[in-house]
A = this chain, B = another copy of it.
Amino acid sequence: VTATVALDAMGGDDAPEVTVRGALAARESGIEVILVGDGPTLEARLAEAGAPSGVPVHHAAGIVTMHDDPIAALRREPDSSIRVACQLVADGQAGAVVSAGSTGATLAAALLTIGRLPGIRRPVVAAVLPVADGRQTVLADAGGSMDVQAEVLAGYAAMGAAYAAVLGSAEPRIGLLNVGEEPGKGNELAKSAFALLEPIDGFVGNVEPPAVLAGAVDVVVTDGFTGNIFLKTIEAAWGPGSPHDSTALLLGVAGEVLVAHGAASADDVHRALQRAAHVAQAGLATRVARRMATGEETTS
């Protein structure tokens, strides 16, 4: 698998300015990036930024904006930058794709081109929380699916654990985000999910927000509504100065797909590209598939 990253250079509030600058910074740190988007526009931006020659640009004329309905926009714009960037991963020309555009459009484009892993009912948006002692915790779902069944949360646990393993947790501890630690706490979804998670290897039980931030688990599982409120509350309470990589991963897709914040800066794009190269090199999607099939990671 190549660690080259296809960047949807037209996605995001401040594209293509920040995507071009982020890509150039990533290249300086040794990451291969293909800029995907309108060729003339990108070449002009690269020249303005004083880029060395030879930065790969892959032309794609269309754009899907934040205001478009994802599915309709992808049909209307088959040559949109996000779809073409995903196609590069499907074709093996890139090992990962990064977009700061709409999460919904990115997921739709990825499923259309790359497809989903076997056994995945629903892909999940996984974020990485910086917790105590400089450690990291995977949050799944960070905002992908609003209303889900408990069975879906069990899938999130397995996918999240594969990601946590790639981030360095030898035996990921999995917790269910809840309002109390004791079994039986929470809403109906949490109670049902607890019963399904209990037999899973690595499941440590319910975790409350303070325990998550203290680093009690490597993976925290919840529905996308709660997870998004949780993530946005942490970001808001910590304030703008917090050193937080807001890049999210779409787990359950048969390739590495990452979404940066719509308001991403060039630094954010750079960080997203670094993370993308890392998960591509680690073969995260393959590891997720293996864990979904066996319930545990095995050394390849």
A223 to B190, CA, bound (A): 14
A208 to B236, CA, bound (A): 10
Name the contact of A237 in the complex, choosing from B190, B213, B228 (C-beta under 8 A): B213
A11 contacts which chain B residues (CB < 8 A)?
none
| A227-285 contacts to B (CB < 8 Å) | 228-230, 232-238
A234 touches B237 (CB 8 A): yes
With contacts A234-B237, A238-B237 known, is A228 near B146, CB below 8 A? Answer: no
A91 contacts which chain B residues (CB < 8 A)?
none
A186 touches B225 (CB 8 A): yes
In the complex, which range does the number of interface residues on chain A fall in? 20 to 34
* A226 at the B interface (CB under 8 A): yes
A90 to B140, CA, bound (A): 47
A225 to B179, CA, bound (A): 7
A185 to B242, CA, bound (A): 27
A238 contacts which chain B residues (CB < 8 A)?
237
A208 to B230, CA, bound (A): 11
Name the contact of A233 in the complex, choosing from B186, B223, B230 (C-beta under 8 A): B230
- Flag A206-220 by CB within 8 Å of B: 1 or 0 each: 001110111000000
* A147 at the B interface (CB under 8 A): yes
- Flag A14-38 by CB within 8 Å of B: 1 or 0 each: 0000000000000000000000000
* A177 at the B interface (CB under 8 A): yes
A208 to B232, CA, bound (A): 8
* A299 at the B interface (CB under 8 A): no
Name the contact of A229 in the complex, choosing from B177, B224, B235, B237 (C-beta under 8 A): B177
A235 contacts which chain B residues (CB < 8 A)?
209-210
A146 to B234, CA, bound (A): 22
With contacts A146-B188, A237-B233 known, is A179 near B228, CB below 8 A? Answer: yes
With contacts A188-B147, A238-B237 known, is A229 near B226, CB below 8 A? Answer: yes
- Flag A31-72 by CB within 8 Å of B: 1 or 0 each: 000000000000000000000000000000000000000000
> Which residue in chain B gives the minimum CB-CB distance to A213?
B236
* A187 at the B interface (CB under 8 A): yes
* A123 at the B interface (CB under 8 A): no
B232 touches A209 (CB 8 A): yes
* Cβ of A213 to closest chain B Cβ, rounded Å: 5
A146 contacts which chain B residues (CB < 8 A)?
179, 186-188
Name the contact of A209 in the complex, choosing from B147, B209, B213, B236 (C-beta under 8 A): B236
* Cβ of A189 to closest chain B Cβ, rounded Å: 8
User: Can you pick out 9 interface pairs between chain A and chain B where the beta carbons lie within 8 Å of each other?
Assistant: A146-B179, A179-B224, A179-B228, A190-B225, A208-B232, A210-B232, A210-B235, A212-B236, A226-B229
